[in-house]
Amino acid sequence: MYHPEKAYSEMYVKFLFSSIIKEIYEAMDLPDEKRLSREIDRLYRAKRLQDVWKLTEKAMEELEEYLAEEEKGTRSEVTQVKNYIYQNYQEELSVDILAEKVYLSPGYLSYIFKQETGMNLNRFIKAFRMDKAKELLENSQKKISQIAKEVGFSNNSYFCRSFREYFGVTPESCRKGTAEYEKMDTEI
């Protein structure tokens, strides 16, 4: 509706979409204001309407996943742990820390998390961090060391090694979009 219309100001459209994102995060009971603030900030820095739409679409997909998990009876502890990871992936995360957040023993949390998601907790954390790192590499000009810290890695060389193991390419190759990276995409 707003795309072909030039009568609406860019700021009005961004305000409207930021309100939608805020409602989506409130519907998911996400108490972390930092994450909501980061997403709204990204929305206001977007240069094109397509980017604003992508951010809103991503929030809608997260809401759909959240509702699907609730509908299929996912244990609330697993949902809480996943939401905590989504909001705090840049901090130190361990089974012990997460188990404490949901008042379960680390062993039991590991067990039910694996039962519900099909993936162990550490692998889930690593996968989420790697996806975030790839997104930052492709969509920002931040230094690789800064991205490593943002996604929860205190050691830059460990981050680079982990990234290469996970995606099959170095962070530099991912950022540059070299032929090696494009080759990997065509193989998948």
Asked if the model's pLDDT at residue 129 lies above 50, the reply is yes
146 or 70, greater pLDDT: 146
The model's pTM is 0.59
The pLDDT of residue 184 is above 50:
no
Which of 2-16, 17-31, 49-63, 98-112 holds the top average pLDDT? 98-112
Q: Is the dihedral of CA 145, 162, 63, 90 positive or negative?
A: negative
What pLDDT shows up at residue 166? 94
The answer to whether residue 21 scores a pLDDT higher than 60 is: yes
| Alpha helices (runs of H) in the chain, residue ranges in sequence order | 10-27, 33-45, 49-71, 76-88, 95-101, 106-117, 121-139, 144-150, 156-167, 171-176, 179-187
Q: What is the pLDDT of residue 79?
A: 85
Least confident span in 30-44, 132-146, 152-166: 30-44
CA distance linking residue 35 with residue 61, whole number of Å: 16
Query: Is residue 185 scored above 70 in pLDDT?
Result: no
What pLDDT is stored for residue 123 in this prediction? Answer: 95
